[in-house]
């Protein structure tokens, strides 16, 4: 699953570079692998921890997405 996500992620970076040439799309494939693996872990944590409410999970996911997006924005900036 991680390998599939990584392939899609690398293709996405290439498409972003073609569409927005000013972006820095020179992202380490190993970092893409790590981020794909992390997403799998996030979903596993949600499944394994039934003691959290839907609201707790939604808040955590929103915060994780904000955290993650800030990192990608920093990496892709020209």
23-77, pLDDT tens digit by residue? 999 999 999 999 999 999 999 999 999 899 999 999 999 999 999 999 999 999 9
* Residue 61 confidence (pLDDT): 96
d(CA 42, CA 28): 21
* Residue 43 confidence (pLDDT): 92
- The torsion of the CA quartet 15, 18, 23, 26, rounded to 10 degrees, works out to 70
* Residue 41 confidence (pLDDT): 95
Confidence of residue 8 (pLDDT cuts 50, 70, 90): very high
* Residue 28 confidence (pLDDT): 96
């Amino acid at each position: 699953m991680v390998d599939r996500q990584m392939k899609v992620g690398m293709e996405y970076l290439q498409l972003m570079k073609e569409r927005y040439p000013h972006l820095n799309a020179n992202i380490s494939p190993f970092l893409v692998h790590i981020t794909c693996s992390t997403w799998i872990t996030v979903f596993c944590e949600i499944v394994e921890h039934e003691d959290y409410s839907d609201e707790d999970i939604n808040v955590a996911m929103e915060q994780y997405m904000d955290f993650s997006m800030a990192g990608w924005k920093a990496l892709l900036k020209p």
